[in-house]
Amino acid sequence: MQAPDAQSADGQTIELAVPGGAPVKLTGRDLARLPAIEQEVAFQTSQGLSRARYGGVLLWNVLEANHALATAGHHDELRQIFSVTGRDGYRIVFSVGEIAPDFGNRAMMIATEADGRPLAGLRLIVPGDRRGARSVRDVVGIEVR
C-alpha cells in the first residue's frame, strides 16, 4: 500500500479540535506524512456483510502527531474522550483508552482507500466491531476532550 494520497477523498479535510488549542485542519497531505497501514475489515451493515481491505493511517498516530493527547500526568490520556463526526452530522464518541497502544490498542484508522481504490470521503474504520455503526463515513471532524 502507498501512503495516503494528498488528493484522496476528493481533497476532504478534517477539523481536529484539541483541548486548549485552536482547531487544526488536516488534509490528505497531512495524513500522507504519517505511517500508512492496511487492514482487512468485515462488519455487518443493513445491506449485509461488508468486507474490504482498507488503507489509511492509525487514528492514534493522527492524534499523537497533532498533540491532541493529554501527557501531563500518569495515564492522563485515559481520561480523554473523542468524537468523530461525518458530513451528514452522524457522530460517535469513543474513549482514548480504546486506541491507546498500552491499553485497548484498537487499530482504528482514518481510511483513504478500500481494496486499492480511493474512497469518496475519509472514513473512520473500527476493526473488530461486529456491526459497522461506529465506522463513520465522510469524516469532517474529530474533537478530543
φ, ψ dihedrals at 27, nearest 5°? -110, 175
Task: Report if residue 18 sits inside a domain.
Answer: yes
H/E stretch holding 65 reads helix 59-65
Domains contained in the chain, number? 1
Assess if residue 51 is contained within a domain. Answer: yes
Determine the structural domain holding residue 138 and report its residue range.
Answer: 9-144
Query: Who has greater pLDDT, 8 or 45?
Result: 45
Please indicate, yes or no, if residue 24 is contained in any of the structural domains.
yes
Q: Above 50 in pLDDT, residue 6?
A: no
Q: What is the CATH number of the domain that holds 42?
A: 3.90.420.10
pLDDT at 4 (0 to 100): 47
Coil, helix or strand for 123? strand
Whether residue 2 has pLDDT greater than 50: no
| Residue 112 region by backbone torsions, left for phi larger than 0, else alpha for psi between -120 and 50, else beta | alpha
Number of Cβ atoms within 10 Å of the Cβ of 8: 25
- pLDDT at 47 (0 to 100): 92
